[in-house]
Structure 1
Amino acid sequence: MNKIIKYIGASAVICLMAGCTTNFEDFNTNPYQPSKVPANTLLSGMFNVYAAPMQNDCQHINCMWACFSGQITAPSTWSKGENLFAYYNAMEDHNAATWAKIYARIYPNFFRIEEATEKKGVIYAMAQLTRIYAMQMMASLQGPIPYSKVKSGDIRAAYDDEPTAWRAMFDDLDNVIAILKSAAELGINQDLAAVDQFYGGNCEKWMKFANTLKLRMAIRVSGVADYAQAKAEEAVRGGVLESVSDSSYDTTSSGINENGYAIVSGWGEVRANACITSYMNGYKDPRRSAYFTKQAAGFSEDYVGVRSGSSVAPNPSDYQNYSNLMITTDKTLPQPVMYAAEAAFLRAEGELKGWDMQGDAETFYEQGIRLSFEEFKVTGVDAYLDDDKSKPGNYVDPNHSADNYSNLSTITIKWDKSATPEEMLERVLTQKWIALYPDPLNGWSDFRRTGFPKIFPATHSANPDCKPARGQRRLRFADTEYNTNKENVEAAVTMLSDGRDSNGTDLWWALKN
């Protein structure tokens, strides 16, 4: 098990775990000093924020709060009673875990790489990209973050408010893309290839990844940032993911670096969420067999998920016969990081906004679905795209009728040119959410930003700040920050929309009603 042993300033938590100390040597003395370890080796230590292949990292970064996405739920005994994310009231150790793991992966090595490379070259660009990827996650989870004011040697970093942090990340990402564009013309970068389990040192692929991340970020802040359209259009002109061969997976498959989802779900601590199985059952979606295991015989549906925030005390043994993640069949299956389908759906939404995404919304919408079917090697996409009758299904729990839920969505699959703008957006975001399984942060962020897809709420809330209809809106700041960086984290609280460090507080870019 991972043991958190030391917090470094406002933003770096150093964990000592089996198999994770190789790239962190000497960090207990001064983690911000340049290391004699080669910069590319240090980079490999940062890479685990992309897919969290280690089992405990996967719990903390991918699974515990994933119930908010409607894709995964956790009928677990991680804590007693209703101190769980499923009821919007997670105990502090779990609330702080994502913060701890992400910062532990990034900052101990980032400044070492920065100094070792003198802020030049591909390895530095990749360290920057990895930092941005991790920090846009943290900004989407909690809001204000230490970013522009985090410096080598700092023990307590001030937080940026959300507009400042997001703009700084875009500026850094532009620099990354420029470096990767130049490097792409030279072919495979051998230093990067030695540690790159995603694209084998292919800088052109990484450039597309970075542009797609830029497009994702632009869409996320599109309701509040006046520069979002320009950034999105720059990303598309620069080249985004377009084919299945562009999709990013973590292919690590040795030691404890197996597929984190596979290990955690094998413990019975996660299951398919009732929300996504109900949508896909209603659509008769052929991808179900690629996403989920079938439930045990005797249920009315072949694929039955677990209602997140159920009416009964969560216990893995109660749900052992419900659908699991199909990824459990092979612990060494590559773990997804970013699908090419995401770029297509982002471009579809951009077109709905009137942005120049170099196409039209219908084409990108259908392209996203086609790419997803191809990604999962599933047939029947033409019939699926032509289905104008099927609607998302309701949920019937075979054992707990109090968990039954009538789906609020009636959106169909086939593109409808006569649909209202709201219906078009719901159609795009619903299919995007299905296609990007399992990618919990995208779905939860879209729901908070737009209200779509219509994710099933918990049966009740254990947190007075969170109403089931809106769910949890953010992760609160970690208690360790109050203990070690009190003045700065208290200043960060004043930057939030309602000045409260609450699970129910809306982020800068989210809907406020």
Structure 2
Amino acid sequence: MKNTNNIFLSGLMALSLLLSSCTEGLDDIDENPRNISQEQLEVDFQNVGSLYKPIFENIYQYTPAWSYQLQQNLNADVFSGYMTNPRPFVAGANNTTYNLVSGWNNFIWSVPYSNVMNNARTIENETKDKFPELFAISQILKVTAMHRVSDVFGPIVYTKFGESATTSEYDSQEEVYDAFFTDLEEAVQILSNNIDSPRFTAFDLSYGGSYEKWIKYANSLRLRLAIRISKVNPSKAKSEGEKSLNHPVGVFQTNEDSFFVNGTLDHPIKTINNSWGDIRMNASMESILGGYEDPRIESYFNVSGVIEGEHKGIRNGLPLLPGYDDELAQKADYVDFSLLSDQVLTSSVQLMTASEVFFLKAEAALRGWTGAGTAQANYEQGISTSFQQYGLSGSSNYIANSTLTPKDYVDPVTPSNNITALSNITIAWDEGASNEEKLERIITQKWIAIFPEGQEAWSEYRRTGYPKIFPVVSNQSAGVVDTDIQIRRIPFVDSELQTNPDGVADAVIKLGGPDDAGTRLWWDVPGGNF
């Protein structure tokens, strides 16, 4: 027994030594070879690269389609005069009739904060000091998304985002625009200093990693924002606009410069339009495009089924009309009005085009900004560039037409919706016209060219009053919104009222008026534009 125990103990000791020597590298052996260390992630920037895609795809959210429907389609796309719904949702008491549905409008706020601001903050923390050009791109994308949010609500949470886990302080719209300009200036400088870096190529859904293209876009975006504040702060607008116009890289010059998000999914309006039948051509589009005999109407919309061979739009803000028992019965009579064309509902989502930039330059020239060129040359180039975008010829004849004007609207289903055209503005440039008339031409053609980007179109309508789009048929705002002046903003959302009441209270003070849909934003100055 004694000898056996000694042998057993000797064996245990030998086994122990063997196990000890074998386990010295087991941590390395047991680690999954597919796991990637933080150091390895940083080598090819995958630690932040995955954060860009949700930013690109949530400037507005195009999947699922119902999220986009609530984030933009049932507000800006309709308020802009581009589209309207054949179905009177909520028995006609909905956003389109100014009886705002707060549950819908929460998405305008929540989508960009969850998917853009959060990811941009992480990218900033990970890259600003080590890889500044990656940070610069995230700043440009952040401004792209958040100026849209500010142009809906006014004051927003921006410069102090993430400072507190429980409350957030709002910037006034003037403060947030100042921050936008600062962020774009910094981004342009960083990219100019790192022009040949390939670090962003693998994550770029727009420009294939070309920093020169990103600089052009940042300059073009800064020009857009400068024009936006030209009535409320003309000196600041001129200063910022001229930085873009006179920058060595400059702004968009061709359609190849335009800013699209190149995804793999169809535009969400395609589902809303084709599958659900929830959106159609707006009567204002029929009036203006039809009156001008504009060939772009074929690229934007299909002919209707209600009148053979014709494009037919629907008046905005239809109530549940007399004679209809429910929403679906009314929708059935309007469902054959013009659908949007698949040509504008592609997987490349349009956010800013070269044609828009030419119209921005035309207005800058009217306002006397250096580097803008002449208003007429830019106006005409804006039209021809838009024609080129859709592969259309004949822009010269269109530009020269001095007789065609928007046409009256006729509703073949409900004649009480008929309305006379609100403008007699023609297409051809008139150098002898007033600046106000020239601006109406510029904005009307810009409105046509930037379709289907309803957020920008609504913002420019509010800023300028152009083009003159038809008012809603039914205004159910209980006097909050003037039918002729139309809706000016969306009230602060329920989620903020519930979780950040002090922040919202301060934001209302900064708004300078009641938290309702009739209060004008800071840059929305009443009266003439000159």
Judge same fold: TM > 0.5, yes or no: yes
> Greater shift after overlay, 106-115 or 383-392?
106-115
User: Equivalent residue of 1:250, what SS?
Assistant: strand
1:127 and 2:135 matched: no
1:21-60 map, 5 Å:
38-50=47-59, 52-54=61-63, 55-60=65-70
Contact 1:198–1:248, Cα closer than 8 Å, also in 2: yes
Change (3 A) 1:153 1:40: farther
3-state SS of 2:91 partner: coil
The whole-number CA distance in structure 2 between the counterparts of 1:61 and 1:220 is 22
User: What is the correspondence of 1:313-332 to structure 2 with a 5 Å cutoff?
Assistant: 313=321, 315=328, 316-327=331-342, 332=346
TM-superposed deviation, 1:152 = 5.0
Distance 1:159 1:51, change over 3 A: closer
Structure showing greater Rg: 2
Q: Deviations over 1:329-364 (max 9, x none)?
A: 696542212111011000000111111233100000
8 Å Cα contact 1:443-1:453 kept in structure 2: no
Q: 404, 422, 426: which is aligned to 1:412?
A: 426
For 1:426, what is the secondary structure of its paired residue?
Answer: helix
Checking the alignment, whether the CA contact within 8 Å between 2:283 and 2:313 is kept in structure 1 is yes
* Residue 223 to residue 330, structure 1, CA distance change in 2 (3 Å): closer
In the alignment, what sits opposite 2:283? Answer: 274
Unmatched 5+ stretches in structure 1: 1-35
- 8 Å Cα contact 1:278-1:304 kept in structure 2: no
The secondary structure found in structure 2 opposite 1:365 is helix
Indicate whether 1:342 and 2:353 are aligned. no
Aligned counterpart, 1:303 = 311
- Native 8 Å contact 1:433 1:453 kept in 2: yes
Query: Is contact 1:341–1:367 with CA below 8 Å preserved after alignment?
Result: yes
State whether structure 2 residue 206 is matched by structure 1 residue 198: yes
- Counterparts of 1:399 and 1:76, CA distance in 2: 14
Write the mapping of 1:105-120 to structure 2, written as runs, cut at 5 A: 105-119=115-129, 120=131
Q: Count matched residues.
A: 468
3-state SS of the aligned residue for 1:336? strand
TM-fit CA distance, 1:317? 2.9
Corresponding residue of 1:286: 295
Q: SS of 1:49's equivalent? A: coil
TM-score normalised to structure 1 length: 0.87
Match of 2:253 in 1: 242
Q: Deviations over 1:90-122 (max 9, x none)?
A: 211112221111212112212211111135422
Give the partner amino acid of 2:287: S
The Cα shift of 1:39 comes to 0.9
Aligned to 2:377: 363
Q: What is the CA-CA distance between 1:491 and the residue it aligns to?
A: 1.0
Specify the code of the residue in structure 2 equivalent to 1:358.
A
CA 1:153–1:490: 2 relative to 1, 3 Å: closer
Q: Is the 8 A contact 2:362 2:372 kept in 1?
A: no
Q: Is the 8 A contact 1:63 1:74 kept in 2?
A: no
Q: Does 1:504 align with 2:518?
A: yes
Contact 1:287 1:376 in 2 (8 A): yes
Q: Cα gap change, 1:202/1:50 in structure 2, threshold over 3 Å: closer, same or farther?
A: farther
Q: How far 1:303 sits from its partner (Å)? A: 0.9
The separation in 2 between residues aligned to 1:303 and 1:402, in whole angstroms, is 19
Give 1:467 deviation, angstroms.
1.4
Output the CA distance in 2 between the equivalents of 1:298 and 1:196: 44
CA–CA separation in structure 2 for the residues paired with 1:438 and 1:459:
22
Q: Report deviation, 1:421.
A: 1.4
**How far has the Cα of 1:195 moved from its partner?**
2.0
Contact 2:260 2:352 in 1 (8 A): yes
Aligned to 2:239: 230
Distance in 1 between residues matched to 2:158 and 2:375, nearest whole Å: 35
* C-alpha spacing 1:297/1:107, structure 2 compared with 1 (3 Å): closer
Do the aligned partners of 2:81 and 2:469 also contact (CA within 8 Å) in 1?
yes
**CA deviation profile, 1:296-349 (whole Å, cap 9, x unmatched):** 1635x611111111254565433221111102x696542212111011000000
Q: C-alpha distance in 2, partners of 1:67/1:332?
A: 20
Residue 41 (structure 1) shift: 1.1
- What is the DSSP-based 3-state SS (H/G/I as helix, E as strand, rest coil) of the residue aligned with 2:350? strand
Are 1:452 and 2:466 an aligned pair?
yes
Cα distance change, pair 105–75 in 1 and its aligned pair in 2 (3 A): farther
**Would the aligned equivalents of 2:362 and 2:378 in 1 still touch at CA under 8 Å?**
yes
User: Percent of pairs identical after alignment?
Assistant: 33
Q: 1:102 to 1:446 in 2, by over 3 A?
A: same
SS at structure 2 position matched to 1:227 = helix
Determine if contact 2:188/2:215 at 8 Å carries over to the other structure. yes
Per-residue deviation, 1:165: 1.1
Segments of 5+ residues of structure 2 without an aligned counterpart are 1-44, 322-326
Q: Tell me the CA shift for residue 190 of structure 1.
A: 3.8
Root-mean-square deviation (CA, aligned residues, Å) is 1.8
The amino acid that maps onto 2:382 is G
Give the 5 Å matches for 1:164-179.
Answer: 164-179=175-190
CA distance change for structure 1 residues 401 and 379 in 2, over 3 Å: closer, same or farther? same
